[in-house]
C-alpha cells in the first residue's frame, strides 16, 4: 500500500502541516510507504486546455515540461492519494487547484475525439484540511467538489479530516486534533486492508 500526500499549504510549519504530522507518524507505525510532495516547492503550470494529453491514452502527455510529470508518476504508482490543504476562498490553494486541473485532463482521457480510459481508476483519495470557519461552513464546498471530481475520475472518495483554526493568536494544535489525525490514518489504513 503506497500513499502519495500532496501538501498544498504554503506554510511549512503552519496548521495543515501540524495536523499532518501525527497522521504521518501513524503511517510510519504501520510501515506504510509514502511520498510527501510540497506543492509550493514545485513548478506547476496551470492547464491551458490544449488537449495534447488526449492524443496518447497510455501516458500523461502534457506539453509542459514542469514538475507535474514527476508528480504524475508518483500518483500513478500509489494506491491512496491524500490532498492536504488549507482552505483558501472555500477551496484548496492555487498549486493544488492547478494540479487538479492538469490531472482531470491528463489522467482522464475523456476529452479527445473518442472517450478513453481513466488512468487512475480505483485509487483512493482522502482530504486533510484546516479552515478558519467551522468545517461544515469552511470545508464543505471543497469536499463536495472533490467528491464530484472523484466520481468523474473513477477514484474512490475515502473521507475528510477537517479541523478549525481559531486565528493567528490562538494555538492551533491540541490533543483532540492530534487524536483525530491519528484516528483518520488508522481508519484509512484499516479500510485499505479490506
Ligand atoms: C488567503 C486565505 C484565504 C482563506 N480562506 C478561507 C476560507 O474561505 N474559509 C475558511 O474557513 N478559512 C479560510 N482561510 C483560513 C485558513 O484556511 C486557515 O487559517 C488555515 O488553517 C491555514 O492553514 P495553514 O497554516 O496550513 O496555511 C483563509 C486563509 C487565507 C490566508
Confidence bin at 125 (pLDDT 50/70/90)? very high
Tell me the CA–centroid distance for residue 137 and ligand 1, in Å: 12
User: pLDDT tens-digit profile of 74-86?
Assistant: 999 999 999 999 9
Residue 180: count other Cβ atoms within 10 Å of its Cβ: 17
CATH number of the structural domain spanning residue 21: 3.40.50.360
Q: Is the CB of 88 under 6 A from ligand 1?
A: yes
Tell me the CA–centroid distance for residue 47 and ligand 1, in Å: 24
Tell me the CA–centroid distance for residue 129 and ligand 1, in Å: 10
The whole-angstrom separation of Cα 44 and Cα 17 is 20
Q: Is the CB of 133 under 6 A from ligand 1?
A: yes
The cell for 118 is 481513466
Considering its fold, how many domains does the chain have in total? 1
Q: Is the CB of 16 under 6 A from ligand 1?
A: yes
Confidence bin at 23 (pLDDT 50/70/90)? very high
Cβ(122)–Cβ(156) below 8 Å = yes
Confidence bin at 192 (pLDDT 50/70/90)? confident
**37 is in which domain, residue-wise?**
2-192
Tell me the CA–centroid distance for residue 179 and ligand 1, in Å: 22
User: pLDDT tens-digit profile of 33-57?
Assistant: 999 999 999 999 999 999 999 999 9
Confidence bin at 194 (pLDDT 50/70/90)? low
The whole-angstrom separation of Cα 194 and Cα 191 is 5
**Ligand 1: nearest atom to the Cα of 139:** 11
Q: Is the CB of 138 under 6 A from ligand 1?
A: yes
For residues 119-123, give the mean pLDDT.
Answer: 98
Residue 132: count other Cβ atoms within 10 Å of its Cβ: 13
Amino acid at each position: 500500500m503506497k500513499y502519495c500526500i500532496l501538501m498544498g499549504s504554503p506554510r511549512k510549519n503552519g496548521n495543515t502541516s501540524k495536523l499532518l504530522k501525527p497522521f504521518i507518524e501513524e503511517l510510519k507505525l504501520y510501515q506504510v510507504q509514502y511520498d510527501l510532495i510540497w506543492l509550493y516547492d514545485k513548478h506547476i503550470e496551470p492547464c491551458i486546455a490544449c488537449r495534447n494529453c488526449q492524443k496518447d491514452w497510455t501516458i500523461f502527455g502534457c506539453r509542459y515540461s514542469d514538475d507535474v510529470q514527476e508528480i504524475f508518476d508518483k500518483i500513478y504508482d500509489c494506491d491512496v492519494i491524500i490532498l492536504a490543504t488549507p482552505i483558501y476562498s472555500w477551496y484548496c490553494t492555487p498549486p493544488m487547484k492547478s494540479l487538479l486541473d492538469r490531472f482531470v485532463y491528463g489522467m482522464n482521457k475523456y476529452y479527445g475525439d473518442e472517450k478513453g480510459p481513466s488512468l487512475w481508476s480505483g485509487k483512493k483519495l482522502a482530504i486533510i484540511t484546516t479552515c478558519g470557519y467551522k468545517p461544515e461552513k469552511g470545508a464543505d464546498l471543497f469536499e463536495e467538489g472533490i467528491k464530484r471530481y472523484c466520481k468523474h475520475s473513477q477514484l474512490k472518495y475515502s473521507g475528510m479530516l477537517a479541523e478549525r483554526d481559531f486565528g493567528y493568536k490562538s494555538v492551533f494544535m491540541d490533543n483532540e486534533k492530534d487524536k483525530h489525525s491519528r484516528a483518520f490514518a488508522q481508519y484509512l489504513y484499516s479500510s485499505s486492508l479490506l
